[in-house]
Amino acid sequence: MTEIDDPIAFELFKNSIFSIADEMALTITRTTYSGVLKDNMDFSTALADAEGKLVAQGLTLPGHLGSIPTALEAVLRHYRDEMGPGDIFIMNDPFDGGMHLPDIFIFKPIYIDEELMAFSASVCHHTDVGGRVAGSNASDSTEIYAEGLRIAPLKLYDSGRPNKTLFAIIEKNVRVPVRVFGDLRAQLAACHIAEQQFLELVARYGKQTTRVYMKEVIDYAERMTRAAIRELPDGVYSFEDWIDDDGVDFGKPIRLFVTMTKKDDWIVADWTGSSPQVKGAINATLSWTKAATYTAIKCVLPNDIPSNEGVFRAIEVIAPPGTITNAVLPAACAARGLTGFRTLDCALGAVAMMVPDRVCAASDGGNTGITIGGYYVDRSPFIYVDFTTGAWGGRPWADGLEGNTNLLINMASQPVEVTEVEHPLQILSYEFIPDRAGPGKFRGGAPFRRDYRFLEEEGILQVRSDRRDFRPYGLYGGQPGKPSANYLNPDKENRLLTAKVTMTIRRGDVFRHELAGAGGWGDPLERDPMLVLKDVRNEKVSVGAAREDYGVVLDTETWTVDVHATEKLRDKMRAERGWSEVPKVLR
């Protein structure tokens, strides 16, 4: 029996190489400086082979599926013949392999006996990379040149020697260099640990077997992916969704449209028909669109399929250049996260047409990006960056999750106590909102609101949100969730703000963000009345909404369902609406 024929040896190798990628992620979590990394976990780690093919991605963001190979391909295109031991590469250019400027990639080639064997890789969202607005992610920038420091693929270390010129350029162009360099060092530490553990792996298996097994890990993922896709029904499935606007041309909707063609063991996802790229900074790069597409399809595949190049081989993504899903220079893209999350919703809508019993309705549309930056009295800078999300759409078998991260990411909420210690902010409320989840046989997840009181003299508030006009869709009779909202000083002037905001705030101002409610799945009149009663008792649904949305009559003195009155009301509501069939999608 040869080594490649030994399934036990191969399984041990596969688990080991994915453990290395996971250990990289834990290293960043333990050593990073910023909340957007240690709490939001807006980063990813990976190992690739000598050709730049992704072998193993770590346990953090699905939203980075495909981003590391695209970025590494750019590095290899520039430096394939100028690469050696001790080199470390850095880049963030969205138009040369990157996604948006705050996402900085670090790549470390791993050599054994002067032979390139692999790459360790990490990508992290940094608190600030310069530009016109603190946090470098304003929605209303109109070209890439306003968004911050754009780093082409470059050597951060050359034969083990730091590129002092590049370090100096970064230091002088970011508002919080201590935090940025602290986070960069966390990335470097993760790549260094991966190198050490990979060398131990090679010492155990030998160079030749390691090369063979890395190739087999990819081929194995491809075989599993194709086998799973083969079980899905062949056909052509299209779906359309809309972004409210880009934050510059207010009130001008932006179309997302995808056609998924599934045949045998192959899926083509074609985004032709989506809107042209826009003035505002929500334009997506191709790797971000690929990531959302891969994630949507992976949601209905077995969860034991490894995340690597093999998955991508079975899924073709088409996104015409110059569109919202594949922007070209000089497009602004700092807030492209919004489009990625909405791209996922749209792609999931198409998958729901393919396998209706396995896909949830639309999520809250998140995540919402909130940045508050400025200067203390001594002119030292502060920047608070948070991404908040919390509600899944109703599922064919259960209510949507709430207080939970979006499917495209694995983000945790930043602790209130840490936020208040590290920034001039007070969090006044963090609570679910009643009557905002989309009604359905299985309702959408309930959204939450959060109130921020600003404590410094002056600052800039920047908000990236959506789902104000085009609400999170329901599926198969489920109703859409309620819209998101932004308010300034809700207990005083209660000024309603636009969904995308860049504005000055002053001491004592309170900003409130309310997430959109997630969409429902199935006819609300088929919901178990006891579940409606439970929601009312938990203050997620009011007594009035129980009656109006679900046709459930409650006795609030005994907290019981009036069964007879409920049956009578539901019969009347069905007769009034006159539906012979439940429509598939409601907005």
Q: Give the tens place of pLDDT for each residue, 477-520.
A: 999 999 999 999 999 999 999 999 999 999 999 999 999 999 99
Distance CA 94, CA 494 (A): 38
Would you say 151 and 91 are in contact if contact means Cβ atoms under 8 Å apart?
yes
Nearest Cα to Cα of residue 485 among 467, 470, 472 = 467
Q: Does pLDDT of 580 surpass 60? A: no
Give the pLDDT mean for 221-244.
98
- Tell me how far apart the 2 most distant CA atoms of the chain are, in Å: 80
3-class DSSP state of 383: strand
Of 526, 545, 572, the domain-final residue: 526
pLDDT at position 412: 83
Would you say 247 and 335 are in contact if contact means Cβ atoms under 8 Å apart?
yes
Distance CA 426, CA 416 (A): 8
pLDDT at position 1: 37
Residue 510 and residue 431 share a domain: yes
Residue 448 and residue 395 share a domain: yes
Of 223, 241, 263, the domain-final residue: 223
Q: Does pLDDT of 540 surpass 90? A: yes
Give the pLDDT mean for 24-37.
93
pLDDT at position 4: 66
When comparing pLDDT for 578 and 257, which is higher?
257
- Per-residue pLDDT band for 472 (boundaries 50, 70, 90) equals very high
Q: Which helix (H) or strand (E) holds 420?
A: helix 416-422
Distance CA 414, CA 157 (A): 33
Taken as a whole, the chain contains a residue count of 587
Residue with tokens 């001491």: 507
CB atoms within 10 A of CB 165: 9
Residue 130 and residue 11 share a domain: yes
Alpha-carbon distances, residue 262 vs 314, 352, 384 (angstroms): 10, 13, 43
Residue 574 and residue 462 share a domain: no
- Per-residue pLDDT band for 395 (boundaries 50, 70, 90) equals very high
Structural domain tally of the chain?
3
Alpha-carbon distances, residue 217 vs 8, 223, 482, 562 (angstroms): 13, 10, 44, 58
What tokens does 58 get?
A: 């770590």
Residue 514 domain-assigned (yes or no): yes
CB atoms within 10 A of CB 15: 10
- Strand ranges in 335-424 using DSSP code E only, listed in sequence order: 368-375, 381-388
Residue 387 domain-assigned (yes or no): yes
Distance CA 295, CA 57 (A): 13
Residue 482 and residue 446 share a domain: yes
Task: Give the structural domain span for 556.
Answer: 529-581
Rounded (10°) angle between helices 7-31 and 177-205: 160
Q: Name the DSSP letter for residue 522.
A: S
Mean pLDDT, rounded, of the chain = 94
Distance CA 468, CA 221 (A): 39
3-class DSSP state of 45: strand
Give the pLDDT mean for 452-474.
97
